[in-house]
Structure 1
Amino acid sequence: MYSHVDGELVAAEDATVSVRDRGFQYGDAAVETLRAYGGQVFAWAAHAKRLQATCNALGIDHGLSERDLRGRVHATLAANDLTDARVRLTVSRGTHSGSLTPDGDADPTVVVVTDPLPRGGVDGERVWSEPATAVTAAVERVADDALPSVAKTHNYLNGVLARIDAGDADEAVLLDADGRVTGGAASNVFFVDDDTLHTPSLDLPVNPGITRWAVLELADDLGVPVEEGHYRPRDLRSADEVFLTNTTWEVRPVAAYDDTTYTTCKVGARLARALAEEVEARHY
Structure 2
Amino acid sequence: MDVLRFRWNGSELVDVTGAPEIPLYVADSFLLNDGKVVAYQRHLDRFAASAEFQGLVRPLDDFLSAVTASLPRTGKLFPRIDLTERGELELHIRPAPELHETIVLATASLDPRVEPTIKGPDIPALNALRAEAQTQGADDAVILDAQGRVVDGSTTCLIWFTEGGLHLPPAEALRVNSVSVAVVRELAAQGGFSVSETWATPADLEGVELYAVNALHGIRSAVSWVNGPSLSVNEERLAHWRQQYDLLAEELPEA
Change in CA separation of 1:218 and 1:197 when aligned onto 2, cut-off 3 Å: same
Q: CA–CA distance in 1 between the matches of 2:24 and 2:240?
A: 39
Q: CA–CA distance in 2 between the matches of 1:225 and 1:201?
A: 15
Q: Which amino acid aligns with 1:71?
A: S
Give the equivalent residue in structure 1 for 2:127.
Answer: 160
Q: CA–CA distance in 1 between the matches of 2:122 and 2:60?
A: 25
Give the equivalent residue in structure 2 for 1:200.
Answer: 169
Give the equivalent residue in structure 1 for 2:27.
Answer: 31
Is the contact between residue 141 and residue 176 of structure 1 (CA under 8 Å) also seen in structure 2?
A: no
Deviation, 1:41, is: 4.2
Change in CA separation of 1:111 and 1:196 when aligned onto 2, cut-off 3 Å: same
Identity of aligned residues (%): 20
Change in CA separation of 1:140 and 1:154 when aligned onto 2, cut-off 3 Å: closer
In structure 1, runs of 5+ residues without a counterpart are 95-107, 119-125
Q: CA–CA distance in 2 between the matches of 1:178 and 1:157?
A: 25
Q: CA–CA distance in 1 between the matches of 2:188 and 2:96?
A: 26
1:274 and 2:244 are equivalent in the alignment? yes
Once the two structures are superposed, the pairs formed by residues 1-284 of structure 1 within 5 Å of their partners are: 2-6=4-8, 7-10=12-15, 12=17, 15-17=18-20, 24=22, 27-61=23-57, 63-66=58-61, 68-78=62-72, 82-94=74-86, 108-117=87-96, 127-128=99-100, 131-140=102-111, 142=113, 147=115, 149-166=116-133, 167=135, 168-239=137-208, 241-259=209-227, 260-279=230-249, 282-283=250-251
SS at match of 1:138: coil
Q: CA–CA distance in 2 between the matches of 1:236 and 1:258?
A: 13
SS at match of 1:212: helix
Q: CA–CA distance in 1 between the matches of 2:236 and 2:167?
A: 14
Per-residue CA shift, 1:141-191, capped at 9, x if unaligned? 64xxx53x3311233244134223312200110001121101110111011
Moved more, 43-52 or 244-253: 43-52
TM-score (norm 2): 0.84
Q: Which amino acid aligns with 1:194?
A: E
In structure 2, runs of 5+ residues without a counterpart are none
Give the equivalent residue in structure 2 for 1:100.
Answer: none
Q: CA–CA distance in 1 between the matches of 2:236 and 2:36?
A: 29
Is the contact between residue 142 and residue 150 of structure 2 (CA under 8 Å) also seen in structure 1?
A: yes
Deviation, 1:73, is: 2.0
Number of residue pairs matched? 243
TM-score (norm 1): 0.76
SS at match of 2:79: strand
Which is greater in Rg? 1
Is the contact between residue 7 and residue 16 of structure 2 (CA under 8 Å) also seen in structure 1?
A: no
Is the contact between residue 33 and residue 74 of structure 2 (CA under 8 Å) also seen in structure 1?
A: no
Q: CA–CA distance in 2 between the matches of 1:244 and 1:224?
A: 18
Give the equivalent residue in structure 2 for 1:103.
Answer: none
Q: CA–CA distance in 2 between the matches of 1:211 and 1:28?
A: 22
Q: Report which structure shows greater RCO (CA 8 Å, sep ≥6).
A: 2
Q: Which amino acid aligns with 1:10?
A: D
Q: Which amino acid aligns with 1:8?
A: L
Q: CA–CA distance in 1 between the matches of 2:13 and 2:41?
A: 23
Q: Which amino acid aligns with 1:251?
A: I
Deviation, 1:60, is: 2.6
Per-residue CA shift, 1:53-107, capped at 9, x if unaligned? 322332233x2333x23323234324xx64542110001131xxxxxxxxxxxxx
Change in CA separation of 1:249 and 1:40 when aligned onto 2, cut-off 3 Å: closer
SS at match of 2:239: helix
Deviation, 1:206, is: 2.1
Is the contact between residue 242 and residue 265 of structure 1 (CA under 8 Å) also seen in structure 2?
A: no
